[in-house]
Amino acid sequence: QVLEGRPQDLTGLHVVVSAGGTREYLDPVRFLGNRSSGRQGYALAEAAVARGARVTVVAANVALPDPAGAEIVRVVSTEDLREQMHLAAADADAVVMAAAPADFRPAEFVEAKIKKTADGVAPDIHLVENPDILLELVGARTSKRPVIVGFAAETGDARASVIEHARAKLARKGCDLLVVNDVSAGKVFGQDESEAVILGADQTVEEISYGPKIRLAHAIWDAVVQRLD
């Protein structure tokens, strides 16, 4: 159906959106995770359905109602997300990595719950780096499809501004678009609204003012559609 009078400009296309935050378990009851709620990913799915796409959502630990009309694939860890993204991206016209994968995972999973010891000494948990899924998806591409979009939650620091960090990240990742959120003041996470800058590998800069995540979602699809030639 046509929502908000949007064009059906994704009709006949397969789009894949990752959403949420991955969890890396250290024992049966504990994990390393992050604050991503999945709201932006689900808004992207809802917007793409409204524009006529076939939509696959790879959802990592999202506690929200499923977006109507999309296929949902549930995952837990970054490794699961990686596997499902490669499968779904194989025939995709566009891929948006809105999920927040944990950058590190415990080097080992302990089958029995880690117990406190009488001497009060805390365990050292050794971490190893997870694969970079976005980088892999870009590397696996053999033509201009799929158009690939990354997200970046950045804070400015003494070395560079939010946008400078984001430009460097876009170049490093090699994707077509990077959606940048400034998270300096605890903004964005778990909210229904956000503001963002959409950077293009073709040097475009589009500022999306503070507003509903569904509006940002449509702006992202607008930018994707422009690059689907």
Nearer to ligand CTP, 9 or 206 (CB): 206
Query: Does the active-site annotation cover 34?
Result: yes
CB atoms within 10 A of CB 144: 10
**Bridge partners for 197 per DSSP:** 180, 207
Stretch binding ligand CTP (CB under 6 A), from 5-13, 34-42, 109-117, 151-159: 151-159
The answer to whether residues 124 and 115 touch, using CB atoms and an 8 Å cutoff, is no
Nearer to Ca ion, 132 or 222 (CB): 132
Nearer to Ca ion, 45 or 133 (CB): 133
Q: How far is CA 169 from CA 10, 102, 209, in A?
A: 28, 17, 22
The answer to whether residues 189 and 35 touch, using CB atoms and an 8 Å cutoff, is yes
Q: Provide the minimum distance between the beta carbon of 34 and ligand CTP in the complex, in angstroms, as a whole number.
A: 9
Q: Provide the minimum distance between the beta carbon of 153 and Ca ion in the complex, in angstroms, as a whole number.
A: 8
- Residue 178, SS3 per DSSP: strand
Stretch binding ligand CTP (CB under 6 A), from 113-121, 130-138, 187-195, 199-207: 130-138
**27 is a contact residue toward ligand CTP (CB under 6 A):** no
Site for Ca ion, residues 24 to 83, rule: CB under 5 A: none
Stretch binding ligand CTP (CB under 6 A), from 96-104, 140-148, 184-192, 210-218: 96-104
Distance between CA 15 and CA 91 in Å, rounded? 9
Nearest alpha-carbon partner for 18 in 69, 91, 94? 94
In the shown chain, the binding pattern of residues 58 to 87 toward ligand CTP, with x for contact by CB under 6 A and - for none, equals --------------------x---------
Name the E strands within the chain. 14-20, 24-27, 30-32, 54-60, 71-75, 94-97, 104-106, 127-129, 147-154, 177-182, 193-200, 205-212
**103 is a contact residue toward Ca ion (CB under 5 A):** yes
Query: Identity (one letter) of the amino acid at 139?
Result: G
- Residue 106, SS3 per DSSP: strand
The two three-digit tokens of residue 75, written as one number: 């995952």
Candidate residues 75, 92, 94, 134; the one interacting with ligand CTP per rule CB under 6 A: 134
To the question of whether residue 134 is assigned a binding role by annotation, the answer is yes
Which residue matches tokens 């804070």?
A: 155
Stretch binding ligand CTP (CB under 6 A), from 57-65, 93-101, 187-195, 196-204: 93-101
Instruction: List residues binding ligand CTP (CB under 6 A).
Output: 78, 97, 99, 101, 103, 130, 132-134, 150-153
Instruction: List residues binding Ca ion (CB under 5 A).
Output: 103
| Binding residue ranges | 103, 113, 131-134, 151, 169, 173
